Amino acid sequence: MSWSLINKAKKILIQERGTIKKARGGKITVAIAYPNLYYIGMSNLGFHTIYYHLNSLPDVLCERVFLPDKDEYQVYTDTNTALFTLESQKPLYQFDIIAFSISFENDYINILKILDLAKIPLERGERNDSHPLIIAGGVASSLNPEPVSDFIDLFVIGEGEEVIPELFVSYKKGMENGYKKDEILENMADIVGIYVPGYYTVDYKSDGTIKDFEPKGRFPRKIKRRWVKGVDKFKTHSIILTPNTEFSNMFLIEISRGCKWGCKFCAAGFIYRPYRKRGLENLRETAANGLKDKDKIGLVGAAVSDYPMLPELCELILAMGGKVSLASLRADSLDDRVVKCLKASGHKTISLAPEVGSERLCRVIGKKITEEDILSGAEMIISNDILNLKLYFLIGLPAETLEDIEEIVHLVKKVKHRILEASKGKKRLGRVTLSINSFVPKPATPFQWHPFDDIKSLNNKLKVIRNALKKESNINVISDLPKWGYVQALLSRGDRRVGRIILAAYRFGGDWKKAFRETDINPDFYVYRQRYFEEIFPWDFIDHGMKKEYLFAEYQKALG
């Protein structure tokens, strides 16, 4: 045991407000794990929410654990210390359950790091009844859990608020009856939204595609994702406040769930259907409580600017003496009252997400905004003396041409021109920042059939944009690395055989290229291959709420 690690954990706890502390005796003990650093995990509102709901159960004690940073990781290995939780500094292997909250596919490898540091066998087939039950939830594993199914005993598919109590009632009953782990899992077969991969067999065709996905015993062939009909029953807001997070200066509140637009590239617009909004009075009450601790309220949702009472909510927060923060907004939903509230709250930058530069490609992806919407939105923002814009774009989309890439450049130049015109007479000029990401096809969307664009092609497109804008003043271009988009595409749409690549990448210290070479699985099969309607996808056993025929029709419509 390392005293330096224990002391660091205690220092973090001292700086927190809202940490939940419960007596351990007689309770089901859960370590909720975020497979990334504390700074990132504590910025995740879903992680706060599940931590709160687990601890709301009288028979459950839930503590947190995160991926150690580089220096901490070295101390853990040098001192042979087993990874422990933040609250009690007890080793993870002493807990009944380890529950991973997985938001991003690129964190899959970190699941293995956490299990290994905790001295728990990585693969579920190597674990026995003496080891904790390993469960997982979150958007990444709800879309397609198969790439990590060899490491996880049980998945929660969909939204967790209502399924959590059912899961733990069943678990407690099994424990009281002296059931073994397999018997406990078997007794959860009737809980909607529960996926236990060990009770499903996958058969493959000679071409490598899936032939059949067969359940055992009472487990259903189709797993229905869970979703909460009345979101006002469950408050979703910051639980623990800490200076050691990206949102250290604000109190986060979810104002809506899902998105009504259904852009063809975006999973949130499909798996979180239907769009649900919270009542204004409930949000006002939550904001008032949040302002007792912080002076800024961060409003969270997949489509924040679509909340119908957003101007009223922002003005209410300002009237209570607070400030408002919002994430990316839709250009066609911008409201002058909201922009004025953001200005009054000290915002110096507002983010918009055009996604593409041409209106033709807008129609392809189902993004119902026009160039004039974007230009008018930029003018409204600048006229309110917020001089900086961040614009999000995707490259590598279906039906994309070089002309579409050039249209991104033309659009940005037009935005800059409108900013300069609106900035006349002001003491300083605004800045435009482009954030460019490679499009990754996601499960449960119309584009799930489409291949990932070639890495070389993506790099060339980035080069075209950078070269065209490098001499333009007050324009900054940032982008992801297409090679990481390739890995994400593999992890997003892979089947359970991809788990062997993940395991190899972990063994080789995160060297994905070496993992590709050393395993007998061709990653291009999952990343670059055009798929067809008849193919059984690794995630087809999940009912995400959308018929496959509808998604395919939308895909065909997009391609014209």
pLDDT for 422 beyond 80: no
Q: Can you tell me the distance from the alpha carbon of 137 to that of 156, in angstroms, rounded to the nearest whole number?
A: 5
The pLDDT assigned to 236 comes to: 95
∠ at Cα 486 (483, 488), nearest 5°? 115
Rounded average pLDDT over 426-454: 92
Cβ atoms within 10 Å, residue 150: 20
Residue 366 and residue 553 in contact, taking contact as beta carbons nearer than 8 Å: no
pLDDT, the chain, mean: 95
CATH of 249-345, one of 3.20.20.70, 3.40.50.1010, 3.30.750.210, 3.40.50.1820: 3.30.750.210
Instruction: Grade residue 427 by pLDDT with cuts at 50, 70 and 90.
Output: low
CA distance 459 to 554: 28
- Of residues 94 and 259, the one with the higher pLDDT is 94
Cα–Cα distance, 253 to 198 (Å, whole number): 37
Q: Are 271 and 545 in contact (CB under 8 A)?
A: yes
- pLDDT interval class at 109 (50, 70, 90): very high
Mean pLDDT of 100-115: 97
Using the 8-state DSSP alphabet, how is residue 191 labeled?
S
**Which residues in 167-178 are b (16+ Cβ under 10 Å) and which e?**
bbebbbebeeee
Cα separation, 105 vs 523, in Å, equals: 15
Query: Confidence class of residue 430 from pLDDT cuts 50, 70 and 90?
Result: confident
Chain-centroid distance, C-alpha 213: 26
Residues 262, 445: contact at Cβ < 8 Å?
A: no
Q: What is the pLDDT of residue 421?
A: 80
- Assign 301 to helix, strand or coil: coil
CB contact set of 553 (below 8 Å; sequence gap of 6+): none
Query: Could you read off the pLDDT of 525-551 as tens digits, one per residue?
Result: 999 999 999 999 999 999 999 999 999
pLDDT digits (tens, 9 = 90+) for 328-385: 888 888 899 999 999 999 999 999 999 999 999 999 999 989 999 999 999 899 889 8
Across the range 211-217, mean pLDDT stands at 96
Is there a contact between 386 and 349 (Cβ–Cβ < 8 Å)?
Answer: yes
Helix residue ranges per DSSP H, 137-230: 139-143, 163-176, 181-186
Q: Both tokens of residue 89?
A: 């500094």
Q: How confident is the model at residue 395 (pLDDT cuts 50, 70, 90)?
A: very high
425, pLDDT greater than 80: no
Q: How far apart are CA 405 and CA 356, in angstroms?
A: 8
pLDDT value, residue 330: 87
Domains 249-345 and 348-496 share a fold: yes
For residue 553, pLDDT over 80 is answered with: yes
Residue given tokens 């949702």 in the structure block = 301
Q: Is the pLDDT of residue 419 over 90?
A: no
pLDDT at residue 3 greater than cutoff 80: yes
Rounded Cα–Cα distance for residues 256 and 272 (Å): 10
pLDDT of 223: 97
Q: What is the pLDDT of residues 511-521, one digit of tens each?
A: 999 999 999 99
Range in 5-19, 53-67, 379-393, 431-445 the model is least confident about: 379-393
Predicted TM-score (pTM) of the model is 0.95
Please report the pLDDT score of residue 77 as a whole number: 95
Percent of the chain with pLDDT over 90: 90
> Which residue ranges make up each domain of the chain?
3-224, 249-345, 348-496
Q: Which fold has domain 3-224?
A: Rossmann fold (3.40.50)
Q: Shortest CA distance to 547 belongs to which of 451, 449, 446?
A: 446
CB count in 10 Å sphere of residue 468: 18
H or E stretch covering 286: helix 280-290
**pLDDT of 281-317, one tens digit each?**
999 999 999 999 999 999 999 889 889 999 999 999 9
**One CATH from 3.90.1210.10, 3.40.190.10, 1.10.10.10, 3.30.750.200 for 348-496:** 3.30.750.200
Beta bridge partners of 325: 298
pLDDT at res. 331: 86
